[in-house]
């Protein structure tokens, strides 16, 4: 896969909302992805942690979701199955 196609694929992932089927929670939107540079395969996606108390007390840790926990990637959402 050439770099232009990869960059386009990554950017399209960032517009998708992540839903956890384990509890029905809306986790947020993809902020980053981790790719194995040797194989070019997606390893995980990252969703930013929620802000605490109006953002005054920082935010929770980012949620890193492994490829094996991604159940379906649709046009607008990504369905995952994780335990938080």
pLDDT one-digit tens code per residue, 45-84: 999 987 666 656 677 889 999 999 999 999 999 999 999 7
Residue 35: name the closest of 5, 10, 15 by CA.
10
**How far is the C-alpha of 50 from the C-alpha of 27, rounded, in Å?**
8
pTM: 0.80
Per-residue tokens: 42:
């997606």
8 Å CB contact between 79 and 65: no
pLDDT one-digit tens code per residue, 14-31: 889 999 999 999 999 999
Domain ranges of the chain: 3-80
**How far is the C-alpha of 53 from the C-alpha of 82, rounded, in Å?**
25
Strand partners, 42: 35
Fold of 3-80: SH3 type barrels. (2.30.30)
């Amino acid at each position: 896969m050439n770099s232009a196609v990869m960059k386009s694929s990554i950017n399209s992932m960032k517009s998708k909302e992540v839903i956890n089927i384990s509890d029905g929670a809306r986790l947020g939107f993809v902020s980053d992805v981790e790719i194995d540079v040797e194989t070019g395969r997606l390893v995980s996606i990252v969703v930013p942690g929620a802000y605490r108390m109006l953002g005054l007390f920082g935010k929770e840790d980012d949620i890193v979701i492994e490829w094996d926990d991604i159940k379906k990637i649709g046009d607008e959402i990504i369905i995952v199955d994780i335990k938080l």
